[in-house]
A and B are shown apart, each in its own frame.
Chain A
């Protein structure tokens, strides 16, 4: 029966050659069946069941997509983005630390050497996590460059350390310069590429979790389904003189419940996720960019001390980078502060004060860096070097450490906001696929029950 009904229904619905050509090929029996009420009822039964299941499938899929994207935001996408930032920061800090340490003394303090070792270990750890998660060819290439570059880099630093230890500081110094070249020309650009791509992936995942297009498609299908149920009810009412068919009423009710639940879930999740992204993830990205800018300024200052040929001034780069970092309107720190203030107005928290602290420390650190370049301009190379590689209060290293602490604390606070918002959003989305599938199955059952009762009357 089903096979007999399905093939002509499909043939009728398909646009094709003119009827004159098609008619001879259609089986006469099928055409006859469709012209009679039992045939029409059978077709209606199949159509309604299929439509109900289609609604359930699409609704479940959309809800599952949103739910899965929301679930992955914090533990996967955000974590990878942070790992990429950590990796960049660790490489930049490792190079600045080891270079400054040997510039200050051929026998650097243990603390500086340990910091360098810890940075390298962090970079390797982040690299492993990112490599395991990477499915992107361009990012895979960049990660490969970081992997190869880290080996070469640590090899050159090892050579430098050995030369210093053997009492050949100049040869050691030249190896450190080769290592710095590897860091600045290979490692950091590759790490920056990874960070950019992971940030883009985080943005894409955020967009997927809060995306509207699939929800609109779902709404359209819900309206179509509701209309078909309404028309079916009208048609049956005309044929049977019964105003309501309980099965179709049940199906309609299930549709309404499913749509309402989905809408409420999506709206609640969207609100939570948008709050987490706007007040947590976005400022984290701004702070991460500011932190990378600070790393660049620090690395350039160290390189500038090494370069005495006079044509490698990094002063302009410093001024340009500091303008991007901020604080102030239109800067990364400014954007992070605004986002956090908005978040704090809604929920309260320590974010704004942490960013304000970073802004204050950045301003005084810029002043120290300006003094560095001024000393260089006046050929006071010893003073310039002491201010860059020295560890005393007022040195650029002390200011840099304070600033990095500010960034870490502020990022941690924003992370908590993002994690909270994303978690609440994901919780709102979690039950949706089950609800939609369950209501659609009940819809299909209601339709089948309603139409099969009418069909039984013809047997």
Chain B
């Protein structure tokens, strides 16, 4: 009887020990899964190798590059599917906030209001972009010069024709037609609108810019002044097509659509920077602008680079952001998303990808900050 009792106690002891050991192993495994984003690349790769779909929606400006990233990443990482959708930056932010997409793409950083409402969100720069101002003046050769004040007065209806003295004054070598200006703007919640209206709000801080800033301001949506003949479009491609089919138009669009705009015979404006220099969005001008902001960029990478101090810089440059929640639905998604984002800000920033759409690679300091933010993604 005593012996039986001893065997029972022994059996319970072993069972307890086994359970404890199994529990510890399980807990360790769970903990490892829970913090997969902070573990080594091998773990992430192993998780990413599982059949996973990463969904992306947002910025139409980033879309061409995102599409090529998605295709390349899927080839390099079997089992991972990246679905992309060209909508708008506002949609990207909203979808990421609501958790209906894994990755929201935005030309604009998250506002403090967005972040206070959705504290789990982070915005991670993926590449450097610029915005172009295009126009349809078939008989004009060379680049028309424009500045923030003139554009503000075009978009508020003060300047209505291309031969207005305020335009000709800054284009001394150019003969401009007495053609009516048709301003085209985005109707949807757009990062392009955020960048463009930011430029109109500051520009060279002329009275017209100040008036725009105080009366209309900047944002992904603004209350556009009513202008005779104005056109409203949704998405970058629609902006391009509308301008291509409307002589006298002026429109703003991401640099990733510049090639198509040029192919459609549209002109590309030289924009005045803060120093009063007129520049085109060349690689050198974009990089010069961004360089002056690198050391200022805070850890959450929220910064406006519009109309920066670089003498030779292009005035409308920005980081293209991935808006991501740091609390993903599961460890596998978190791991896959982290791996994809790390790939984008490193391999995806190589010339083979960014050159095709006129983007510039992220400065190395931004890659470091980006990796730190990506490390916060978990489940």
Interfacial residues, chain A to chain B (CB-CB below 8 A): 156, 159, 166-171, 173-178, 180-181, 184-185, 300, 303-304, 306-312, 314, 379-382, 385
A208 nearest CB across to chain B (Å):
37
Chain B 165-205 against A: per-residue CB contact (8 Å), 1 yes, 0 no? 00000000000000000000000010000100010011001
Residues of B within 8 A of A300 (CB): 116
Q: Is the interface of B mostly helix, strand, loop or mixed?
A: loop
B300 pairs with A308, CB closer than 8 A: no
Residues of A within 8 A of B216 (CB): 381-382
Cα of A36 to Cα of B342 in the assembled complex, Å: 94
Cα of A300 to Cα of B300 in the assembled complex, Å: 21
- B223's contact among A156, A166, A381, by CB below 8 Å, is which? A381
Residues of B within 8 A of A168 (CB): 202, 274, 307-309
Chain B 296-311 against A: per-residue CB contact (8 Å), 1 yes, 0 no? 1010101111111100
Which residues of chain B (201-229) have a CB below 8 Å from chain A?
201-202, 205, 213-223
A167 pairs with B305, CB closer than 8 A: no
A171 pairs with B220, CB closer than 8 A: no
A307 pairs with B302, CB closer than 8 A: no
Task: Give the nearest-CB partner of B204 in chain A.
Answer: A167
B296 pairs with A308, CB closer than 8 A: no
Cα of A174 to Cα of B111 in the assembled complex, Å: 8
Known contacts A169-B202, A181-B116, A303-B112; is-contact A310 B189 (Cβ 8 Å): yes
Query: Top 9 nearest A-B pairs by Cβ distance?
Result: A308-B219, A307-B113, A312-B113, A180-B112, A170-B304, A177-B112, A303-B113, A174-B304, A307-B111
A303 pairs with B116, CB closer than 8 A: yes
B19 nearest CB across to chain A (Å):
33
B93 touches A (CB below 8 Å): yes
A189 nearest CB across to chain B (Å):
9
Q: Is the interface of A mostly helix, strand, loop or mixed?
A: helix
Task: Give the nearest-CB partner of A309 in chain B.
Answer: B220
Known contacts A308-B222, A309-B220; is-contact A171 B114 (Cβ 8 Å): no
Known contacts A185-B115, A381-B216; is-contact A171 B90 (Cβ 8 Å): no
A170 pairs with B202, CB closer than 8 A: yes
B97 touches A (CB below 8 Å): yes
- B214's contact among A159, A185, A308, A382, by CB below 8 Å, is which? A382
Residues of B within 8 A of A380 (CB): 223
B181 nearest CB across to chain A (Å):
24
Interfacial residues, chain B to chain A (CB-CB below 8 A): 89-90, 93-94, 97, 108-117, 119, 189, 194, 198, 201-202, 205, 213-223, 274, 293, 296, 298, 300, 302-309
Task: Give the nearest-CB partner of B217 in chain A.
Answer: A381
Cα of A387 to Cα of B280 in the assembled complex, Å: 39
A176-B112, A185-B115, A314-B113 given; 7 more Cβ-contact pairs under 8 Å = A168-B202, A175-B303, A308-B111, A308-B194, A309-B114, A309-B220, A382-B215
B220 pairs with A308, CB closer than 8 A: yes
Cα of A42 to Cα of B297 in the assembled complex, Å: 85
A309 pairs with B112, CB closer than 8 A: no
B309 pairs with A178, CB closer than 8 A: no
A455 nearest CB across to chain B (Å):
61
A-B contact count (CB 8 A): 123
Task: Give the nearest-CB partner of A173 in chain B.
Answer: B304
B90 pairs with A310, CB closer than 8 A: yes
Cα of A436 to Cα of B110 in the assembled complex, Å: 67
A171 pairs with B304, CB closer than 8 A: yes
Cα of A306 to Cα of B109 in the assembled complex, Å: 12
* 13 A-B pairs whose Cβ atoms sit less than 8 Å apart in the complex: A168-B307, A177-B109, A184-B112, A307-B114, A308-B217, A308-B222, A309-B93, A309-B219, A310-B189, A311-B114, A312-B113, A381-B216, A381-B217
Known contacts A170-B201, A170-B307, A379-B223; is-contact A159 B296 (Cβ 8 Å): yes
Residues of B within 8 A of A306 (CB): 111-113
B296 pairs with A309, CB closer than 8 A: no
Residues of A within 8 A of B213 (CB): 169
Cα of A186 to Cα of B120 in the assembled complex, Å: 13
Cα of A303 to Cα of B114 in the assembled complex, Å: 9
Residue among A167, A309, A381 with max Cβ neighbours from chain B (10 Å): A309
Cα of A111 to Cα of B246 in the assembled complex, Å: 51
Residues of A within 8 A of B308 (CB): 168, 171
Known contacts A171-B303, A178-B300, A381-B222; is-contact A311 B112 (Cβ 8 Å): no
Task: Give the nearest-CB partner of A180 in chain B.
Answer: B112
A181 pairs with B93, CB closer than 8 A: no
Residues of A within 8 A of B303 (CB): 171, 174-175
B290 nearest CB across to chain A (Å):
12
Known contacts A177-B111, A185-B115, A309-B114; is-contact A381 B219 (Cβ 8 Å): yes
Known contacts A168-B308, A309-B189; is-contact A174 B90 (Cβ 8 Å): no
A228 nearest CB across to chain B (Å):
51
B93 pairs with A177, CB closer than 8 A: no
Residues of A within 8 A of B309 (CB): 166, 168
Residues of B within 8 A of A303 (CB): 111-113, 116
Known contacts A166-B309, A173-B304, A381-B216; is-contact A309 B116 (Cβ 8 Å): no
Known contacts A167-B205, A311-B94; is-contact A181 B112 (Cβ 8 Å): yes
Residue among A166, A173, A174, A380 with max Cβ neighbours from chain B (10 Å): A174
Residues of A within 8 A of B116 (CB): 180-181, 184-185, 300, 303, 312
B223 pairs with A309, CB closer than 8 A: no
A312 pairs with B300, CB closer than 8 A: no
Residues of B within 8 A of A381 (CB): 216-217, 219, 222-223
Task: Give the nearest-CB partner of B114 in chain A.
Answer: A312
Residues of B within 8 A of A171 (CB): 293, 296, 303-306, 308
Residues of A within 8 A of B305 (CB): 171
B115 pairs with A181, CB closer than 8 A: yes
B203 nearest CB across to chain A (Å):
10
B213 nearest CB across to chain A (Å):
8
A196 nearest CB across to chain B (Å):
19
Task: Give the nearest-CB partner of B201 in chain A.
Answer: A170
Residues of B within 8 A of A308 (CB): 111, 194, 217-222
A436 nearest CB across to chain B (Å):
55
